[in-house]
């Protein structure tokens, strides 16, 4: 069975600095997708970034980028120029190639200090 | 914008009560999901529906059932609520079909307390 592990329950960063959230996963599949979702306090969870396993190039979305290491089964999220609005729970998620059922990690709570 | 609406943000129920959590999406999505979110455990899939009247068990279906009579509505039912079902419940939807993007659209959540 696939598993997703986030080993950092909490992280903090100063505004304008860079922070990296870690995620590892375990799978025997070759076709899969990885995601980072953001859950702001008392607000809906939203998709931050998506990575297809067959793509070697790391995904980027504005200030958000990933470091996808397929052999190591590692998928970290880098947030550059952190802003107060980045404070949230961040969930790493895994999806097999042919289904929208996601397996989520336990989450990392990110605090951003002014 | 896709909107997923969960009928109740906060509920307090007593042990043994039957509880209905309702979820409605307005984007004609085929897939709908119920997840349970607990601190330190992340999100765990309770049930999944890929079409009207079609459902599939997730990882923790025990103690829950679901109903999807119309495409836009997916209900989670706790037949006899227990204290260990105190949790945050998240509904989500996705387009499905050939549009397998993996992007789920979430509601705001329903925080259930069972006394």
Is residue A24 within 8 A of residue A73, CB to CB? The reply is: yes
Distance, CA of A25 to CA of A68 (rounded, Å): 11
Asked whether residue B99 carries a pLDDT value surpassing 60, the answer given is no
Say if A44 is an interface residue toward chain B (CB within 8 Å).
Answer: yes
Q: Are strands A10-14 and A108-113 parallel, antiparallel or unpaired?
A: parallel
**What is the structure's pLDDT at A89?**
97
**What is the structure's pLDDT at A31?**
85
A10 min Cα distance to partner chain B (Å): 11
Asked whether residue B98 carries a pLDDT value surpassing 70, the answer given is no
**What is the structure's pLDDT at A101?**
85
* Contact between B107 and A44 using a beta-carbon 8 Å cutoff: yes
Q: How confident is the model at residue B100 (pLDDT cuts 50, 70, 90)?
A: low
Mutate which: A2, A61, A100, A107, vs B, most B CBs within 10 A: A100
Q: How confident is the model at residue B85 (pLDDT cuts 50, 70, 90)?
A: very high
Is residue B55 within 8 A of residue B68, CB to CB? The reply is: yes
Per-residue pLDDT 10s for chain A (114 aa) are: 789 999 999 999 999 999 999 999 999 988 889 999 999 998 899 999 999 998 889 999 999 999 999 999 999 999 999 999 999 999 999 997 677 789 999 999 999 999
Reduced to 3 states (helix: H, G, I; strand: E, B; else coil), residue A28 is coil
What digits encode the pLDDT tens for the residues B14-69? Answer: 999 999 999 999 999 999 999 999 999 999 999 999 989 889 999 999 999 999 99
**What is the structure's pLDDT at A110?**
98
Beta strands in B3-72 (DSSP E): 4-6, 10-13, 19-25, 31-38, 42-51, 54-57, 65-70
Closest-approach residue (CA) in chain B for A2: B59
Other Cβ atoms within 10 Å of B6 Cβ, number: 20
Q: What are phi and psi of B83, to 5 degrees?
A: -60, -30
What residues in A contact B106, CB-CB < 8 Å?
44-46
Q: How confident is the model at residue B96 (pLDDT cuts 50, 70, 90)?
A: confident
Distance, CA of A57 to CA of A9 (rounded, Å): 28
Other Cβ atoms within 10 Å of B110 Cβ, number: 22
Asked whether residue B2 carries a pLDDT value surpassing 70, the answer given is no
Asked whether residue B78 carries a pLDDT value surpassing 90, the answer given is yes
CA angle A103-A97-B60, nearest 5°?
Answer: 30
- C-alpha A45: how far from chain center: 13
Q: Which of B7, B8, B39 is nearest to B24 (CA)?
A: B7
């Amino acid at each position: 069975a696939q598993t997703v592990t986030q080993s950092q329950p909490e992280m903090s960063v100063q505004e304008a600095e860079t922070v990296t959230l870690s995620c590892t996963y375990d799978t025997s599949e070759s076709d899969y997708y990885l995601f980072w979702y953001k859950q702001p306090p008392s607000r809906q969870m939203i998709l931050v970034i998506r990575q297809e396993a067959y793509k070697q190039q790391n995904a980027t979305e504005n200030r958000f980028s990933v470091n996808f290491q397929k052999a190591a089964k590692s998928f970290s999220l880098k947030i550059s120029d952190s802003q107060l609005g980045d404070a949230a729970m961040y969930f790493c998620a895994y999806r097999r190639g042919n289904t929208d059922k996601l397996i989520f990690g336990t989450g990392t709570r990110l605090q951003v200090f002014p | 914008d896709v909107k997923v609406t969960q009928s109740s943000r906060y509920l307090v129920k007593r042990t043994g009560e039957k509880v209905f959590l309702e979820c409605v999406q307005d984007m004609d999505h085929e897939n709908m999901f119920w997840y349970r979110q607990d601190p330190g455990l992340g999100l765990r899939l309770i049930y999944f529906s890929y079409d009207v009247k079609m459902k599939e068990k997730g990882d923790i279906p025990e103690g829950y059932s679901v109903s999807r009579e119309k495409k836009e509505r997916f209900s989670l039912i706790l037949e006899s609520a227990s204290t260990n079902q105190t949790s945050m419940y998240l509904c989500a939807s996705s387009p499905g079909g050939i549009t397998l993007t993996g992007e789920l659209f979430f509601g705001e959540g329903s925080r259930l307390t069972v006394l």
